[in-house]
Structure 1
């Protein structure tokens, strides 16, 4: 919903749209942005569609966005917001510090990524940086990114398969090591269905039709064991 009776006449103000599906969190977050600090909240949204509509109508400088929305992914919302308005800046404020989410947000065009629990001054500092066109990440996210990028040079297959996410590369390595789908699910503590979904994505990205072809490509890139690949496409 748009904020009422809040004229946008001060060109020095950073205007803000808040997007989160938790009303109590939204109320607390809204109280963090005060005019005397140089911020004005011009709208709040609790779902993806309202976020996109309000960004178009209120034209905020910065959108503070949660990734978990009831009607869509915050990653897709980020793409839509920036696709509609190239000048808008998106600051993700999420509970997730998962590598895939962080990297997906960056690829979608987010200018910053903070973990919920950040204090008021950290959020305001991040907002000022993002509003000026800079990029900012919470310390936890920065550490995860550094560890991730440090691992790229040492990770077999990363240069050969840049299209794969870190999780997909991990699963491909386990597959090349001779593990079945069920063994992979146990190793990674994820469901069989999730493993099969990842495998389907891997096959599509590598343009292979079955497990044997995927394993050959993986082992040629240095992943897994050197044993002959299993025949067929069974888990």
Structure 2
């Protein structure tokens, strides 16, 4: 299946560069471009892209507000935030806006392409380094009550949920809990379904925002 990409950036040279880069990939097609946040919202509705590469700083409507508008209409949209600014506030706000990933424009091309495929596959792009930054933001505010749905998780699903919140991949979770990667994927799917979450990013946000996982708490045994 072809991954349909919308490139939203206010610089025409940047958009052209992404188009040229992605044109080399047989499974990726750039279906539209946008130079403003408002145009990104319109193009998303018109072309229904698989993944939206969204710059943060754009005229008319910044990338974070555009992401919120797009997700408000289409909760299944996959938004990969692009920026040259490696700042905590942008990472935090991008994830709160509902983004499925966060990459820097100066990341290697192969890393960007891998990120697009990761997000298109329904996974989230959230490294442990980014997770630590999210933690530092969420622990500054008093947590609300944990969701009632947490009680629906089995003991093993709680273990997996905690390790997701720590930023571990499926393979790393499997090694940590001494279970196969396929079993981990099944547990992850059940956790997301039971907690009504779209992806791993939302799981991390929920875990720390609700105080379900402490930044320095122990890992499951």
Query: TM-score under structure 1 normalisation?
Result: 0.56
Contact 1:61-1:87 at 8 Å conserved across structures: no
Partner of 2:129: 143
Q: Does 1:104 align with 2:98?
A: no
Aligned mates of 2:51, 2:82 — CA distance in 1: 12
Contact 1:13-1:35 at 8 Å conserved across structures: no
Deviation at 1:134, TM superposition (A): 1.0
Partner of 2:189: none
In the TM superposition, what whole-angstrom CA distance separates every residue of 1:114-153 from its partner, at most 9, and x where no partner exists? 011011110110001100111114x6xx525415526876
- The correspondence of residues 13-32 of structure 1 with structure 2, limited to 5 A, is 13-32=2-21
Contact 2:88-2:133 at 8 Å conserved across structures: no
Aligned mates of 2:80, 2:4 — CA distance in 1: 13
Aligned mates of 1:147, 1:102 — CA distance in 2: 8
Contact 2:92-2:133 at 8 Å conserved across structures: no
Partner of 2:30: 41
Aligned mates of 1:15, 1:63 — CA distance in 2: 9
Task: Evaluate the alpha carbon distance shift between residue 159 and residue 71 of structure 1 in structure 2; reply closer, same or farther with a 3 A threshold.
Answer: closer
**Higher RCO (C-alpha 8 Å, min separation 6):** 2
Q: Which residue, out of 56, 81, 87, partners 1:92?
A: 81
Larger radius of gyration: 1
Partner of 1:74: 63
Size of the aligned set, in residue pairs, is 144
Structure 1 residue runs of 5 or longer lacking an equivalent are: 1-11, 163-235
Contact 1:99-1:145 at 8 Å conserved across structures: no
Q: Which runs of 4+ in 1 moved over 6 A?
A: none
RMSD across aligned positions (CA): 2.1
Specify the SS of the correspondent of 1:135: coil
Query: TM-score under structure 2 normalisation?
Result: 0.60
Q: Which residue, out of 32, 53, 56, partners 2:42?
A: 53
- The correspondence of residues 114-153 of structure 1 with structure 2, limited to 5 A, is 114-137=103-126, 142-147=128-133, 149=135
Contact 1:20-1:66 at 8 Å conserved across structures: yes
